């Protein structure tokens, strides 16, 4: 997986912002991170000139926080003192204003070249995150959550694959209106030859941008696939995609357990009734006895949440001795419309609470915590910790 170079702009002048945005967008491998301005970035382009003392203090703080890889400066002021201070502060480039597009372009290409050499030299391979979703019962909403969480992550420009681990009834192709695609038993037959390029070209790419790996039809494919093969396949998935989401269905079996061994997050989906809560308790107990997944990687999502439930959230959390990380509202009409049209909820019900819930869920996974101003009304209605 080639990592994008994340660039952040702290520039007041709108014209300069517009020009820099255009140049950055025109070079493959750069991504402007607008949503989470306080997240770490590889390159910060900062405008100075209003209050040099404060600005250089800020540069120093950012450099020592290690949240910023490199800093480029831009200013409409060209006095020697500004340039000297910029050099002292360790700025790698200084763009005078008005911006010369070619100059910025050259600097960015140089940045990319240096970075490629550095990462190649270290043979650094980034590992994508593996999120395994399982149900505390059949029909609690695992496939709905897997599809729409994947769509939410794709909406944030992340590369995402969705894997169906339902061994008998594969429903992902119906949810996404996919007629034909390769399944993991077929790909697993040549596991020793499978690399990122082969994998990406074999998987079906949904118009939303999600890559899909289906489960085999019939039990032959399942029986031919060993946990070892699935483990190796997941390694390739993780080196290819930033996020691999597993629709694990409601069952624990050897193949799913193999994936769970290394999953970064295991989401258990429940609903507010005694059967589901009881099953969550049993699952947590089973995980504890197995020794994996670890408690801190297990997140419980409560689906089909309605206000004023018979069993309250607090009582339910106490009964399972685990808190819920997220609540997804009940919205049968939107979920059914999405399934019947073979579309994602984010598309058919753009302004519904359930759609916002999935968008915020994806944001919480990406950002750890989401800045106040990014939180939608839904978020404020149901306070949750996030994933
Ligand atoms: N938040 C929700 N609000 C209302 N209905 C929902 C919600 N989430 C899922 N559903 C409905 O519940 C049904 C089951 O959902 P889904 O197929 O996602 O569950 P599942 O856990 O994957 O089921 P299975 O165990 O059969 O694979 C579907 O009809 C779906 O529309
Ligand atoms: Mg399902």
Return the ligand number nearest the Cα of 272: 1
Residue nearest to atom 19 of ligand 1 (CA): 141
Distance 77 CA to ligand 2 centre (A): 60
CATH 3.40.309.10 is held by the domain 129-381: no
C-alpha distances (whole Å) from 351 to each of 54, 91, 327, 334 are 42, 43, 17, 11
Instruction: Assess contact for 278 and 144: CB atoms under 8 A.
Output: no
* Beta carbon of 303 within 6 Å of any ligand 1 atom: yes
DSSP string of 187-238, one letter each residue: HHHTGGG--HHHHHHHSEE-TTS-EEEBPPSSHHHHHH--HHHHHHHHHHHH
C-alpha of residue 139 to centroid of ligand 2, in Å:
7
Q: Quick check: CB of 353 below 6 Å from ligand 1?
A: no
Q: Is 215 in the pocket of ligand 1 (CB under 6 A)?
A: no
At residue 156, the pLDDT reads 82
pLDDT at 368: 57
* Ligand 1 pocket: which of 135, 136, 141 to mutate (most atoms within 8 A of CB): 141
Residue 140 and residue 273 in contact, taking contact as beta carbons nearer than 8 Å: no
DSSP states of 19-39 as a string? HHHHHHHHSTTEEE--S-TTS
Domain boundaries, the chain: 5-121, 129-381
For the chain of 387 residues, list the mean pLDDT of each consecutive stretch of 10: 81 94 89 70 90 86 80 90 80 90 92 75 72 97 97 90 92 92 91 90 92 90 91 95 96 94 96 96 95 93 90 93 93 96 93 90 76 56 62
Q: Which residues of 137-160 are buried (b: 16+ CB within 10 A; e: fewer)?
A: beebbbbbbbbbbbbbbbbbebbb
Residues in CB range of 100: below 8 A, 6 or more apart: none
Q: How far is the CA of 141 from the centre of ligand 2 (A)?
A: 7
Any ligand 1 atom below 6 A from CB of 249: yes
Cα 282-283-288 angle, rounded to 5 deg: 100
CA of 310 to the centre of ligand 2 (A): 26
CA 303 to ligand 1 center in whole angstroms: 9
Could you tell me the two tokens for 369? 């915590």
Tokens, residue 371:
């800045």
pTM score above 0.75: no
Domains 5-121 and 129-381 agree in fold: yes
Pocket probe for ligand 1: among 133, 135, 136, 139, the residue whose CB has the most ligand atoms within 8 Å is 139
Query: How far from the centroid of its chain's Cα atoms is residue 77's Cα?
Result: 40
What's the token pair of residue 251? 């069952």
pLDDT at site 122: 55
CA max distance for the chain: 74
Query: What pLDDT is stored for residue 279 in this prediction?
Result: 97
> Which residue in this structure is represented by tokens 């483990």?
231
Residues sharing a CB contact under 8 Å with residue 247, sequence separation 6 or more, in sequence order: 133, 142, 143, 146, 147, 162, 163, 164, 165, 166, 172
Which residue, 67, 16, 36, 63, is CA-closest to 371?
A: 36
For residue 371, what pLDDT is reported? 56
Q: What is the CATH number of domain 5-121?
A: 3.40.50.2300
Nearest in space to 264 (alpha carbons), one of 157, 119, 101, 126:
126
Residues with CB under 5 A from ligand 2 (ion): 142-143, 171
């Amino acid at each position: 997986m080639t990592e994008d170079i994340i660039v952040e702009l702290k520039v007041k002048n709108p014209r300069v912002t517009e020009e820099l945005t255009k140049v950055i967008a025109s070079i493959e491998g750069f991504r402007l991170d607008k949503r989470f301005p306080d997240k770490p970035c590889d390159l910060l382009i900062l405008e100075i000139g209003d209050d040099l003392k404060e600005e250089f203090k800020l540069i120093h703080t950012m450099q020592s926080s290690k949240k910023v890889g490199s800093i480029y400066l831009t200013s409409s002021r060209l006095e020697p003192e500004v340039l000297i201070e910029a050099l002292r502060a360790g700025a790698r480039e200084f763009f005078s204003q008005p911006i010369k597009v070619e100059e910025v372009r050259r600097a960015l290409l140089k940045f990319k070249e240096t970075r490629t050499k550095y990462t190649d030299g270290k043979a650094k391979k980034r590992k994508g995150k593996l999120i395994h979703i399982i149900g505390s019962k059949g029909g609690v909403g695992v496939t709905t959550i897997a599809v729409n969480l994947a769509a939410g992550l794709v909406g944030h420009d992340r590369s995402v694959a969705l894997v169906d681990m339902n061994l008998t009834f594969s429903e992902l192709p119906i949810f996404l209106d996919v007629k034909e695609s390769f399944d993991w038993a077929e790909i697993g037959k040549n596991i020793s030859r499978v690399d990122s390029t082969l994998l990406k070209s074999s998987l079906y790419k949904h118009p939303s941008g999600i890559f899909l790996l289906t489960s085999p039809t019939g039990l032959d494919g399942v029986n031919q696939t060993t946990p070892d093969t699935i483990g190796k396949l997941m390694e390739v998935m993780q080196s290819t995609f930033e996020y691999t989401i597993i629709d694990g269905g409601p069952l624990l079996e050897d193949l799913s357990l193999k994936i769970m061994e290394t999953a970064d997050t295991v989401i258990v989906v429940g609903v507010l009734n005694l059967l589901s809560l009881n099953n969550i308790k049993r699952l947590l107990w089973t995980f504890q006895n197995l020794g994996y997944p670890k408690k801190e990687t297990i997140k419980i999502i409560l689906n089909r949440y309605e206000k004023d439930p018979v069993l309250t959230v607090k009582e339910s959390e106490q009964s399972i001795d685990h808190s819920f990380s997220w609540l997804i509202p009940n919205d049968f009409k939107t979920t059914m419309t999405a399934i019947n049209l073979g579309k994602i909820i984010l598309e058919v019900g753009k302004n519904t609470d359930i759609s916002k819930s999935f968008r915020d869920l994806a944001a919480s996974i990406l950002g750890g915590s989401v800045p106040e101003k990014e939180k939608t009304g839904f978020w404020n209605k149901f306070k949750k910790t996030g994933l």
